[in-house]
Amino acid sequence: MRMLKTVAIGTLLILFTLAGCKLEDTVSSNGNNQHQSQYKLFINEFMASNDACCADEYGEYDDWIEIYNAGDDTVNLAGFYLSDDKSAPKKSQLPTNANIKIAPKGFIVLWADGQPEQGALHLGFKLSSGGEDIVLTEPDGFATVDEHTYGPQETDISMGRVPDGGSEWKKFTTPTPGASNTGVQPAVPPQISSIKVSPDTIQAGQTVTVSAVVTDDDGDLARVELTYGPKDSINTTVTMTATNDSVFSSQIGPFNDGTRIFFFITAKDAKDHTTASDTLSFEVGYIAPVLFINEFLASNDSCCADNYGDYDDWIEIYNPGSEPVNIGGMYISDDKTDLTAWQIPNTAPDSTTIPAGGFLVLWADKQPDQGVLHVNIKLSSKGEDIVLTAPNGTTVIDSLTFGKQTTDVSMGRLPDGSDHWEFFDNPTPGAPNHK
């Protein structure tokens, strides 16, 4: 009997060896060998659009990820991996010689700023406000400790587990990086998105409809108002009424040709939380220039470096017209519900003007301090939107929604400015597209 058991175990070991597996390994859905992690660590809170909430040690408002240790032992994160892509869990490794200890029931904040040279707590990737993954993996590179997939995020609002390490996720208007989420009141003020003005081209004598999606997670939305007027007297307020579920609208005008009207939307709830949109505008008789989002790369590992030698995401704009067009003052966004995510500076027309028949590359690296062509959005390789909007913040000049992308393979129109899209193994930022 003992000989039979020995033979059976030996045969099992041979089979595992031939299959390239270890006994303690299991095979994950993406084909990677994994084993069950013994660490009680959780991705506990994160912020993917940090404008003025929480600064790092350099005073920079970068995206961040908080890790919580629910165990009874101190854990050193040295050598652990973090990533924003489940299919590439080893995207950024914390230094193996670092002292990154989390005490039992403690927290640590990691800065997702794409600048690991700034210190052990700074990761080699940035989070996308459009939604993606966060993955924590053991130093062996196989065992997933924790992972979370999130959707579109709001600026300066974090998402976290309640209670710490729990399964429920909530939004926090008062983020708590490095501290417990327990006891935080997750009351969220109304949210305003998808602001639209119609018709697209407004003629003198036409009535103008302003609409927006207004929601309130607490379910106590009280009123929505539109305030409008000329630049120096934005003081006429009207009530916006619900027309379809969470869509609110109001009709104003008509106005004379050439008139530019500025407006903003205010939403209030029963707890007296108030949210106001950006101040936008429309101009009677305005005709937007013809420009195309012509090519983009949402996963740049070694393809095309910017002026700092960084391999960042990029977006190419094409001007098919016979006159140069300055895109300074226009908006670029990775979310069709937030057209004014980032305004391209209008302070350097020599840099932001696209010549007739020419191209201009915008670096989607969330590092606007590097120049006017570096925009404060980052593209997600899992797919999202790209939107170019006129300086009024309401007229969409061009937009697209893309799916999952391949590293160092761009996607572009062929021929330039057409409706036909192709993948390019040899990207051509700033130049005509070709196979």
pLDDT in tens, 191-244: 999 999 999 899 999 999 999 999 988 788 999 999 999 999 999 999 999 988
241-244: strand order across its sheet: 191-198, 208-215, 247-252, 241-244
Residue 22 has a pLDDT of 35
Q: Which fold has domain 292-424?
A: Immunoglobulin-like (2.60.40)
Q: Kindly state the average pLDDT of the residues 294-307.
A: 95
Per cent of the chain over pLDDT 70 is 91
Chain length of the chain:
435
Residue 49's φ and ψ, nearest 5 degrees, are -150, 85
**Predicted local distance difference test score (pLDDT) of residue 12:** 35
- Amino acid, single-letter form, for residue 408: D
Identify the pLDDT of residue 64: 98
pLDDT given for residue 398 in this prediction: 97
User: Is the per-residue pLDDT at 100 higher than 90?
Assistant: yes
Please calculate the CA angle 123-126-129 and round it to the nearest 5 degrees: 145
Q: Is the pLDDT of residue 261 over 60?
A: yes
User: Is the CATH number 3.40.50.300 carried by domain 36-172?
Assistant: no
Separation CA 170–CA 188 (nearest Å):
10
Contact 208, 251 (CB under 8 A): yes
- Predicted confidence band at 303 (pLDDT cuts at 50, 70, 90)? very high
Q: Does the predicted model carry a pTM greater than 0.75?
A: no
User: How far is it, in rounded angstroms, from Cα 352 to Cα 376?
Assistant: 16
Are 424 and 403 in contact by the 8 Å Cβ rule? The answer is no
Q: How far apart are CA 50 and CA 61, in angstroms?
A: 6
The pLDDT of 35-63, averaged and rounded, is: 91
Q: What pLDDT score does 187 carry?
A: 65
Q: Average of pLDDT values for 372-381?
A: 94
Residues 107-116, mean pLDDT to the nearest whole number: 95
Integer angstrom CA distances of residue 254 from 206, 281, 295? 5, 15, 39
Q: Mean pLDDT, to the nearest integer, of 96-107?
A: 95
φ/ψ of 92, rounded to 5, equals -140, 120
Query: 390 to each of 280, 288, 354, 394, how far by Cα in Å?
Result: 11, 7, 15, 7
Across 8-22, 324-338, 384-398, least confident range: 8-22
Q: Is the pLDDT of residue 11 over 50?
A: no
Which of residues 185 and 276 earns the better pLDDT score?
276
* pLDDT higher than threshold 70 for residue 18: no
Question: Average pLDDT over the chain, rounded to whole?
Answer: 89
Domain boundaries of the chain, sorted by first residue: 1-26, 36-172, 191-283, 292-424
Confidence of residue 185 (pLDDT cuts 50, 70, 90): low
Is 36-172's fold the same as 191-283's?
Answer: yes
Domain 191-283 class, CATH top level: mainly beta
